Amino acid sequence: MSAEEIQQEYEILEKSKKDSNAFGLLYEKYFDRIFTYIFRQTDDEDLAADLSSQTFLNVLKNLAKYEFRGLPFSAWLYKIASNEVKKHYRKGKGVKVFSIEEERVRQLIDEAHEDWSEELINRLLTYLKELPTEMLEVLELRFFEDKDFKEIAFILDITESGAKMRTYRALDRLRKNFNLKIKYDGKE
């Protein structure tokens, strides 16, 4: 996201603080992404819709407290969405679900120059099941939402080095178990 876009969003947010109707532009822009992010962690369309609405309601409620910290507004949105999902599971509503898109997994495997096979996928799913939730959250934001480590750290309320460490450890295990070469920061 360019500095100009971040600035534009900031201006909309400043306007929204005085008139909440101005927030509509940002709602239209981010609803789909937030919905998909929540849906991936619930695999329930209605629940994802409820939690998305709750996320945006919380944003509107706390808009006056929003401070620009050099990160795009979307990072704040993801943080609130992530907290809503955590709140939902804290109420004891089942085991946490990660419903990942096959299409994206195929893409990642292709990038790692590996051949797609049912056996590989089954092993990968077993491996992911055994990963701690914190690692899965980081991997999801990194490889399914394309967030950088600074944003991931902000969203999950951890340090940037903590986010890098979690990703590194998860990928290191992946390399050892599968001989997959998924890039650590996705940019190399």
Partner 1 sequence: MGRNEIRMRRYRMSAGNISRHRNYSALMDQHEKNQRLRRVMRVFMYFLIISFIVIILVIVVRWEKKQKNKSTGKPNPTSINSIKPVTFS
Residues that bind partner 1 (CB under 8 A): 20-21, 24, 27-28, 31-32, 35-36, 39, 43, 45, 48-49, 52-53, 56-57, 60-61, 95-103, 105, 121, 125-126, 128-133, 136
71 vs 128 by CB, closer to partner 1: 128
Three-state secondary-structure class, residue 9 = helix
**Shortest spacing between CB 3 and partner 1, in angstroms:** 27
Of 126 and 161, nearer to partner 1 (C-beta) is 126
Nearer to partner 1, 35 or 154 (CB): 35
Could you give the 3-state DSSP secondary structure of residue 92?
A: coil
| Total residue count of the chain as it appears in this document | 188
The CA-atom distances, in angstroms, between 183 and each of 41, 154, 170 are: 23, 22, 12
CB nearer to partner 1: give 62 or 161. Answer: 62
Q: At 114, phi and psi to the nearest 5?
A: -115, 155
* Shortest separation between residue 75's beta carbon and partner 1, angstroms: 21
Distance of alpha carbon 175 from alpha carbon 158, whole angstroms:
25
